Structure 1
Amino acid sequence: MKPLPDRIRPEKFEDVFGQEHILGEGKILHRILKSKMIPNMIFYGPPGTGKTTVANIIASKTNKKLYKLNATTASLSDVKEVIESLNTLMARDGVLLYLDEIQNFNKKQQQSLLQFMENGSITLIASTTENPYFYVYNAILSRSIIFEFKPLKNEDIVKAMKRALEIVQSEFENTVINIEEEALEYSANVSGGDIRKALNSLEIAIFSTPKDEDGNINVDINIMKECTQKNIFKYDKNGDNHYDILSAFQKSIRGSDPDAASLYLAMLIKGGDLKSICRRLLVIAAEDIGLAYPQAISIVKACTDAALEIGFPEARIPLSEATILLATAPKSNSAIKAIDAALSELDTTNLGELPVYLRDGHYEGAKALGRMQNYKYPYAYKNNYVKQQYLPDKVKDKKYYIYGENKLEQASKNYWDRIKGTNNE
């Protein structure tokens, strides 16, 4: 007997749960199927979200010869076999190649398809759990439409489980299968948006539960918990998910949300990526807190050093301290804006020479070249300040640093406004 996910696999878009953003009435994939002009496509998303199901539905609506390859096990010779079939009567209308896990094909293997994609003799539908922009050859990307499949919502998974239950019920004679709604909701909640995982748990629960005295099967939440794997947090240190979580982590701290920051920190900790956490916290301390609380980076450095020294699981404690400190600290991005503005100036402006009185004069002959002549030493003046041009002539009036709207930087601004406004040369 086939596994339950395969027995209930939909044969039309209307029976597919989730992915309404691309499969719903009037949406792009729905329109493509109606047009019967099938382009090259790449389906991108986590496991159990319907990529293979949708590919099968599309394939069934064409007159093309269907081939299925899994790039994990397929070789270049398998691709050549598909190409050779183009000259046969079986493929007189062309070939539709469904290539699963395309990220496992190297550049040469992917390139072998280009010529035939170009002339339309092969229509490619590829699927991948990895970001195609990182793993798929650019020439393939430029000839394909990319569709992102998203994790299913809990309510969609519950609907799919109820549909599966109807099918399983039809396979039993004189047996009623009763499953608590709470059990279905629990399974959906811990499936991580993977419908296949939820259906496998449902099947195990049904077939492993002994019948009661009336010959019926009753599955409650406790039985479902026994048959359901613990929710496994999906994390890939080298994948798209890694950078998405780091991005959400920094944006939550920047947005002063300690709760969201703590959740994303927990995800990073679950992934065991200590170095990335420490590096990102130090970047945040300088980029997002900056001069509003300049001591923060020293505290964060102490916390990250401690975390690296003690390792997991205890490292979570100083990491949490640093995260909450940064999330609740005043914010300023004036430091990064200043250096980025200065760097941009270098890319667009020929600055010419530096002011001659600022240039090094600590060598024989420097005086004859005018080096350090007429330089005003600030400590020789009141308040250790004297008005003097430090920028090159071409950008002498530019402002790269703009004081942030926070207590510390505004106090600094007020101080220098007073000193520079009253200073006499």
Structure 2
Amino acid sequence: MDLFSHQREQLLQRQAPLAERMRPLCLKDFIGQDEILGAGRLLRRAIEADCLGSIIFHGPPGTGKTSLARIIANSTRSYFCSLNAVLAGIRELKDAIEQAQEKLGRHGLRTLLFIDEVHRFNKSQQDALLPWVENGTVTLIGATTENPFFEVNKALVSRSRLFRLQPLTSKHLDQVICRALSDQEMGFGNRNILISEEARSHLIAVAGGDARTLLNALELAVESSQPDNQGLIEINLEVAEQSIQQQAVLYDKQGDAHFDTISAFIKSIRGSDPDAALFWLARMIEAGEDPRFIFRRLLIAAGEDIGLADPQGIVVVEACAAAFDRIGLPEGIYPLVQATLYLTNTNKSNSILGFFDAVRSLKEEKAQLIPSHLRDSHRDGAAFGDGKGYRYPHAYSEHWVAQQYLPETLQGQIFWQPGKSGWEAERSQQLQWQRAAQLSAAAEWGIEQGEIVSSSPSTPSLERWLKRQMVQAGERLQLLQQRFWQGIPLERHHRVLVLNCQSLFWALPAMKLAPEGGVSLQVEDRETATKLEAQLQVLDQLQKPIIYQTEPHCLDQLHLQLQEGEKFELIIGRNLLKGASPNEREKWLNQLDLLLTEDGRLTFLNSHRELGPLNLLPKGSLGWVNSLQIEMCQLEKEWLNNEAFNQPLENQLKSSGWVASVDKWLEQVEFIISPQLLEQWFNPESKYRCWWLNNFAGELLTELENCYQHQLGVKLIQPLIHQRLTAQKKPRPEAGFIKT
């Protein structure tokens, strides 16, 4: 860049709109999108580690798509190339690919190609990009306001990780205002500005989650206001209203807003909510939607959702549509609203969908011969008996007679089930009687009776690895794992922490179900960490759980190793706090808030043996005094029960303001007495031997061990008690956004 180019860039930067000047340059300055960019989440880790694959950001305007791309450009060690699909064509794309090939060939430098408004590339342009994304010449970073599943080449989508950015919340928009008013270099920090609470609230409310709209309005309010004698610029509600008078309706007749809004409209009608139906109707009309399109959808709803519960529904809509064609806008809005409110408030039935049941049966049934008495008798009646036996309904009283009209293989099949309201309800009882009579008639005639929002490209290597890990665990543990994870509301962007992780087995579902959030493992010794790292060696960097080593029961040590602000939506663990003292348990419990988000959950599984070696033996095996053995067995049971912690922890959590519950079940496990098992029970340092010698004579323990030595190979049944503790902090009243 020469001197003149540098001066031009500096001048453009100073004269750029506030929204452009305030773009964040690093992740620390980025506001919002915590679901995908929060501390510890996959996208943040990928940016910080500079190991991004192809990604596509999509979402409404002003949510940070382009800003994220610029942050990536500022933090990557790769060559960064940027194109705008509105201005660029095949030639510019070809030049970018050639530069990428040169950088890769000469310097071994990969290229990140950012394409803004990627949906504006036509099919041939997207097809031209695909091979270079596929062979790794470029890594694509796309940004679009449209749904990529509809507007971007399916092959590109399948090779990219998708992140959906949400409109900013009021709290985040307030932070945007605070930053703009305090930044002395790029914002208004060098001016004396006073903005009233009412003006601030109005700007935030009308911006509708769009940071660009908010900053544009704030800039207009500041630049159009004259400072007083002390240099104070005061922005009151009147100034704010003039700066941003109307919230822009996000609507694209060919995009997500179009389809999502009409979907919300029809579902509101189906749900008989007139207020919601009018709101979505107003949104479409204000955005310029064609009323004839709305009438077409109303006609569909009249058939699909109202149906024969109110046969007049389709008549009313058709009449209102004809009236609209004669009147036009603006007065034509009245028949449109009338049709909407009529369908919303009338009886509902989807019984007409029985037609599709008939279609399905048509495709599934092989033999669908038309019954002979229903065939045309004018051609083959004499030779083949077609039409013979047909009963003419008008020849009978009430113009109806019991006879079958379905093929033989479908006798008794029901496709139309009348609803329980409106016109259909009046027909229901009579139809039931008629169907019963038809079946009776068929029997008499000897006719046989018959009759279900970060999307990611698939990762086959990860799927195969997860399956291998599951298979190695065995069927019993797989069933226990399913029971443990049942009902846990895990989302793709959630961060999961596995406490005292001894095996990857319990973390496998989280690795599969939360790829954009990520999994962290806490271990208590270096040996376990080394073992887990070896098992994870085959996975790439972003797929691997992060391993943290701490001393037992010290959650504060783990907190110090996390990124600033990193917390978890879910913390799980199995057989935790064994051997912990009451003080250690209390400290451990108080430290959970350091790791959990405000709405985070705990799920812990504790499994312990119900019977010890003494209780497992059949009665009379030792020849001891009966009363002595009974007393010893009872003490052994109490010792084993003290190993369990879920019940007292549940009570501790409840007393600390948690909502907690324990699910308890029993499992019968068959095992064989082996030398290894006896070594585990009776070795000089075992917990069982220590407990025994603290309560009973050592000679008795020797007798017990000798008894088991004579039963090597014998099968015994051990009852295991499983307790699953689930807990969540009681919801707090939602606080308003911060005022400054």
> Normalising by the residue count of structure 1, what TM-score does the alignment of the two structures yield?
0.93
Q: Per the alignment, in what secondary structure is the counterpart of residue 123 of structure 1?
A: strand
Among 68, 71, 91, which residue is 1:57 paired with?
71
AA aligned to 1:140 is L
Q: 1:420 to 1:223 in 2, by over 3 A?
A: closer
Q: Which residue of 2 aligns with 1:329?
A: 346
Q: Per the alignment, in what secondary structure is the counterpart of residue 177 of structure 1?
A: strand
Q: 1:390 to 1:96 in 2, by over 3 A?
A: same
AA aligned to 2:359 is L
Distance 1:147 1:138 in 2: 16
Q: Which residue of 2 aligns with 1:188?
A: 204
AA aligned to 1:388 is Q
Distance 2:176 2:81 in 1: 28
Q: Deviations over 1:256-290 (max 9, x none)?
A: 11100111111222223111110111111111111
Matches within 5 A, 1:129-208: 129-167=145-183, 175-208=191-224
AA aligned to 2:375 is R
- Higher gyration radius (CA): 2
Q: 1:49 to 1:281 in 2, by over 3 A?
A: same
Shift of residue 88 of structure 1? 3.6
Q: Per the alignment, in what secondary structure is the counterpart of residue 282 of structure 2?
A: helix
- Asked if 1 retains the 8 angstrom alpha-carbon contact of 2:173 and 2:209, the reply is yes
Among 308, 320, 323, which residue is 2:325 paired with?
308
Q: Which residue of 2 aligns with 1:6?
A: 20
Instruction: Say whether residues 1:416 and 2:431 are aligned partners.
Output: yes
Q: Which residue of 1 aligns with 2:303?
A: 286
Matches within 5 A, 1:266-285: 266-270=282-286, 271-285=288-302
More contact order relative to length (CA 8 Å, sep ≥ 6): 1
Between the two proteins, what is the percent identity of the paired residues?
41
Q: Which moved more, 1:56-65 or 1:90-99?
A: 90-99
Q: 1:81 to 1:413 in 2, by over 3 A?
A: same
Distance 1:116 1:255 in 2: 48
Instruction: Say whether residues 1:343 and 2:359 are aligned partners.
Output: yes
Q: 1:152 to 1:91 in 2, by over 3 A?
A: farther
- Asked if 1 retains the 8 angstrom alpha-carbon contact of 2:83 and 2:114, the reply is yes
Among 380, 396, 400, which residue is 2:395 paired with?
380
- Asked if 2 retains the 8 angstrom alpha-carbon contact of 1:351 and 1:395, the reply is no
Q: Which residue of 2 aligns with 1:15?
A: 29
Shift of residue 92 of structure 1? 3.1
Q: Which moved more, 1:114-123 or 1:323-332?
A: 114-123
Q: Which moved more, 1:20-29 or 1:157-166?
A: 20-29
Distance 2:190 2:113 in 1: 44
Distance 2:365 2:289 in 1: 45
Shift of residue 58 of structure 1? 2.0
Shift of residue 158 of structure 1? 2.1
Q: Per the alignment, in what secondary structure is the counterpart of residue 190 of structure 1?
A: helix
Shift of residue 105 of structure 1? 1.1
Aligned positions, number: 423
Shift of residue 228 of structure 1? 2.0
Q: Deviations over 1:31-59 (max 9, x none)?
A: 32244320101111111110011111123
Q: 1:367 to 1:16 in 2, by over 3 A?
A: farther
Matches within 5 A, 1:245-264: 245-264=261-280
Q: Deviations over 1:175-233 (max 9, x none)?
A: 51111122122112222321111101111211221111222111111112222253222
Unaligned runs of 5+ in 1: none
AA aligned to 2:123 is K
Distance 1:120 1:395 in 2: 57
AA aligned to 1:344 is R
Q: 1:47 to 1:419 in 2, by over 3 A?
A: closer
Shift of residue 381 of structure 1? 1.7
Distance 1:269 1:121 in 2: 46
Q: Deviations over 1:329-380 (max 9, x none)?
A: 12111112x111111122322243211221233x455543433221101121
Unaligned runs of 5+ in 2: 1-13, 442-740
Q: Per the alignment, in what secondary structure is the counterpart of residue 264 of structure 2?
A: helix
Distance 1:36 1:170 in 2: 27
Matches within 5 A, 1:92-103: 92-103=108-119
Q: Which residue of 1 aligns with 2:417?
A: 402
Among 252, 264, 267, which residue is 1:236 paired with?
252
Q: Per the alignment, in what secondary structure is the counterpart of residue 226 of structure 1?
A: helix
Distance 1:122 1:304 in 2: 53
Q: Which residue of 1 aligns with 2:39?
A: 25
| Structure ranking higher in strand proportion | 2
Q: Per the alignment, in what secondary structure is the counterpart of residue 390 of structure 2?
A: coil
AA aligned to 1:265 is L
Q: 1:138 to 1:62 in 2, by over 3 A?
A: same
Among 385, 406, 413, which residue is 1:391 paired with?
406
Shift of residue 295 of structure 1? 1.6
Distance 1:208 1:84 in 2: 48
Q: Per the alignment, in what secondary structure is the counterpart of residue 342 of structure 2?
A: helix
Q: Which moved more, 1:215-224 or 1:369-378?
A: 369-378
Q: Per the alignment, in what secondary structure is the counterpart of residue 113 of structure 1?
A: helix
Shift of residue 9 of structure 1? 1.4
Q: Which residue of 2 aligns with 1:41?
A: 55
- Asked if 2 retains the 8 angstrom alpha-carbon contact of 1:237 and 1:273, the reply is no
Shift of residue 170 of structure 1? 8.2
Q: Per the alignment, in what secondary structure is the counterpart of residue 112 of structure 1?
A: helix
Q: Per the alignment, in what secondary structure is the counterpart of residue 109 of structure 2?
A: coil
